[in-house]
Structure 1
Amino acid sequence: MRAGFPVARKGMVIGLLGGSFDPAHGGHAHITREALKRMGLDRVWWLVSPGNPLKVQGPAPLPDRMARARAVMRDPRVVVSDLEARLGTRFTAETLTRLRAIYPGVRFVWLMGADNLGQFHRWERWEDILRMVPVGVLARPGWGVRARMSKAARIYGGDLVDRGEVLRSKRAPAWCFVNLPMDSSSSTAIRARGEWRR
């Protein structure tokens, strides 16, 4: 295995939670723990991205965001990683293509909050993502109905499964919407209150 890359064995099911984590907070940790439990994942890798192509302003420096993420998410089943910087990928579809080649026999499940499903159709090659790996959508405050009515949810409504653990073995395209107790933490709100330096 390459230096700096997480270890995964053939047959493992790894959830991937990508984002700028600017900053990481309790809400990220909450949905990660719920995904591990409700989807029967072996591990979750946080992919702390170098930047977000959909955001105009760049995030705080990557080392700062990595350090904060590691402080927030203390669970031996979770790896906080800068894989996208190491791979040199900018878009999720590129990252997934590379990871599937590097880790043959490992099953990946893409994880996202419901707020991301609401604008998923704006992501680069978003339909390729849905065809590559199952997707687990985790409820976020204020996004239940809007996420379920999103363009991606409407187009791929026939691929919706009713239980998260089904994603362990279901071939893509497949996705689920997981309702869970809400955590209202928000990176945007934390930055607005001045609790996180940029």
Structure 2
Amino acid sequence: MKVGLMGGTFDPIHLGHLLAADSVCEALELDEVWFMPTNVPPHKEHKPGASAAERLEMVRLAVEGHPRFRASDVELRRGGVSYSIETVTRLRKEHPDKQFYYIIGADMVQYLPKWYRIEELVRLVTFVGLERPGYSTEYETLPGPIREAVRLVRMPQVELSSTEIRQRRAEGRSARYRVPDRVNDYIEVNSLYET
């Protein structure tokens, strides 16, 4: 079974995340994509605006009803900083029958050499870099062993970010049409990201 792993703060999850996962599912014929909210992201400066439980619930609401999408709390259960090597090692131990594909944005491909224990990680998982118009993955400049572990998949250009959605909410504006309807309802009912 081929499983895509999509990590992120998902603060909040938005339609761009779902479109990216769907693009990879189609291109690589994945059986499932697991969305894994990070506990403490190693690459981000800001602390999440929503709690871990709220972020996980928004992911659950976003993927509910999709036959191949799943919400996973593996990184939240582990606690601490969410290092990919620890997550992938654990998942491979728990699911030895699955082949994992780690989905990352175009901007993250060039930073792979700086990832914690990347030399081990590239032996455990295939990375899928999302190619978007206007973004360079700098794939050609990656060291050989890392480059060999990366597949590139094109996705449509979507100008959406969780930062923009939080900003809109802080300004009293809606996140509608940027997040799934059920996620929007959850954000509004729980007054998330309001100042």
> Are 1:82 and 2:73 an aligned pair?
yes
Measure the CA separation in 2 of the matches of 1:118 and 1:192: 27
- 1:35 is paired with a residue whose SS is helix
Report the aligned-residue RMSD: 2.2
Distance 1:191 1:126, change over 3 A: farther
Contact 2:103 2:127 in 1 (8 A): yes
Once the two structures are superposed, residues 8-34 of structure 1 have per-residue CA deviations (whole angstroms, 9 ceiling, x without a partner) of xxxx11110111111100000001111
Deviation digits for residues 41-85 of structure 1 (CA, Å, limit 9, x no counterpart): 000100111121222222120111112222333412111111112
Mapped partners of 2:26, 2:45: distance in 1: 35
Contact 1:148–1:154 at 8 Å: present in 2 too?
yes
SS in structure 1 of the partner of residue 151 of structure 2:
strand
TM-score normalised to structure 2 length: 0.78
How many percent of aligned residue pairs carry the same amino acid? 34
The residue aligned with 1:181 is: 156
Correspondence for 1:28: 17
Q: Structure 1: which 5+ residue stretches go unaligned?
A: 1-11, 161-172
Conserved 8 A contact 2:129-2:150: yes
Contact 1:25 1:69 in 2 (8 A): no
Q: For residue 186 of structure 1, what is the amino acid of its counterpart?
A: S
Q: Which runs of 4+ in 1 moved over 6 A?
A: none
1:67 partnered with 2:57: yes
The answer (yes or no) to whether the contact 1:45–1:78 under 8 Å persists in 2 is: yes
TM normalised by structure 1 equals: 0.76
Q: Which letter maps to 1:83?
A: V
Gaps of 5+ in 2: 170-174, 176-191
